[in-house]
Structure 1
Amino acid sequence: MPHSSPQSLDQLMDRAYAMAGLTLGEIAAQLGVTVPADLKRHKGWGGQLLELWLGASAGSRPEPDFPHLGVELKSLPIDEQGKPLESTYICVCPLTDLRGLRWQDSVVCHKLSRVLWIPVEGSRTIPVAERRVGMPLLWQPDPDQEATLRRDWEELMEQVALGQVEQITAHQGEILQLRPKAANRRVLTEAIGPDGHKIQTLPRGFYLRSRFTAELLAQHYL
């Protein structure tokens, strides 16, 4: 049975700690969920399983997964050395109607104000059901991290507002990067073009660089 929404931060963390050391198969069995043979056609399945266990309630809405606690949940696939295997998706980037949008009002700011990181073994050599869940990490950005995130976001959003979205590359941003986020290249959305008129382009998403999440894990666990 999926858990109901946690009523306090302590209850959420108790559930997270209770998950540590279990395999995805063991968690799925307790929840009555079928484990897929692989994740090629089930991308995001692991994160959804953790949401069920912890009682996340936001779904796909542009707010933290536990809105009443102000906590965003992020599963973090790691390799055998405990290092993240990929960058972490945060949210879709708005490409139109940007007038007056400020960092403190942005979805990125709200989602990253407090994050519950759950490391999960992600090596493809480990069957999905046998991948273990690690110890949770509840993180809030310190002043330096907050300042860097804000600077990255403001610089990227300024380019979007100036009609330069298609000139932005994944190399930009110290912590935060902006990349295409679409199932395929036929999925297009409106954006501001170089001359101020609307253009069709791929949707974009904000991501945290893997080297940044690797630093978070190293600071916490070492």
Structure 2
Amino acid sequence: MPILRPLSHPPSSELELVNQAQQLAGMALGELATLAGMNTPPNLKRDKGWTGVLLERWLGASAGSKPEQDFADLGIELKTIPIDAQGRPLETTFVCVAPLTGNTGVVWETSHVRHKLHRVLWVPVEGERSIPPGERRVGSPLLWSPSEEEDDQLRRDWEELMDMIVLGQVERITARHGEVLQIRPKAANSKALTEAIGENGQPIMTLPRGFYLKKNFTGAILARHFML
């Protein structure tokens, strides 16, 4: 059996990517970190993105923090998703930063959200807090593209949320807006402000916002695929 190693190059095909991801299924994160020469944090309070970075290393992701897909040549985005013992998502999934200015003429078909979700490699990972990070195991991967119905659900929410931003109602948006897609503040601290449009069309400063997939949406994807 070949020795399992992180991909030292971006995968050249969907098949290579999925094969590598399948080889990680059942392995503990601590084991993968050791093989990749990375440290395993005792908890993820300060290292929230550690699991994603570890799996990016193993799968040869190239984007880093660039605003393109993780596997740009393949047009695939990588999303790790923490799940409970029943295989249900434990948290919402970050998609991308929400643009708060310069949105004239933006449409769903060319939006950043749709671009990011065009093709996604979902990698479920045990996420219950009672399990130390190093002992959490990786699940079977799932390569997904939105169905017509899913694309429609996402489009409706995106259009509603973007209308609110354009009409100067960004401060009124709550996590309850949207059936499957939501907008929430995304900032390391309350001092990190960005420009937006106010109620009367004036420039205002507000917290940066991000688009997130709600758990009901990602949960349905996993349930269908894994027949939960």
Note the aligned Cα RMSD (angstroms). 0.9
Name 1:75's counterpart in structure 2.
80
Instruction: Give 2:140's aligned amino acid.
Output: M
Deviation at 1:77, TM superposition (A): 0.3
| Displaced runs of 4 or more, over 6 A | none
Q: 2:178 aligns with which of 173, 179, 196?
A: 173
Deviation at 1:24, TM superposition (A): 0.2
Within 5 A, what are the aligned runs for 1:108-187?
Answer: 108-187=113-192
Cα shift readout 1:149-205 (whole Å, capped 9, x = no counterpart) = 111111100110010000111111111001111112221110011111100111100
Cα shift readout 1:38-94 (whole Å, capped 9, x = no counterpart) = 111111100100000001111112221101111100000011221111000011000
Tell me the SS of whatever aligns to 1:118.
Answer: strand
TM-score, normalised relative to structure 1: 0.98
Cα shift readout 1:97-149 (whole Å, capped 9, x = no counterpart) = 11121112211001101110000001111111110000001111000100111
Structure 1 unaligned runs (5+)?
A: none
- Identity %, equivalent residues: 59
CA distance in 2, matches of 1:176, 1:63: 20
Moved more, 139-148 or 97-106: 97-106
Name 2:98's counterpart in structure 1.
93
Deviation at 1:11, TM superposition (A): 0.3
Structure 2 unaligned runs (5+)?
A: none
Deviation at 1:2, TM superposition (A): 4.3
Q: 1:194 aligns with which of 196, 199, 216?
A: 199
Deviation at 1:210, TM superposition (A): 0.7
**CA contact 1:63–1:107 (8 Å) conserved in 2:** no
CA distance in 2, matches of 1:60, 1:153: 23
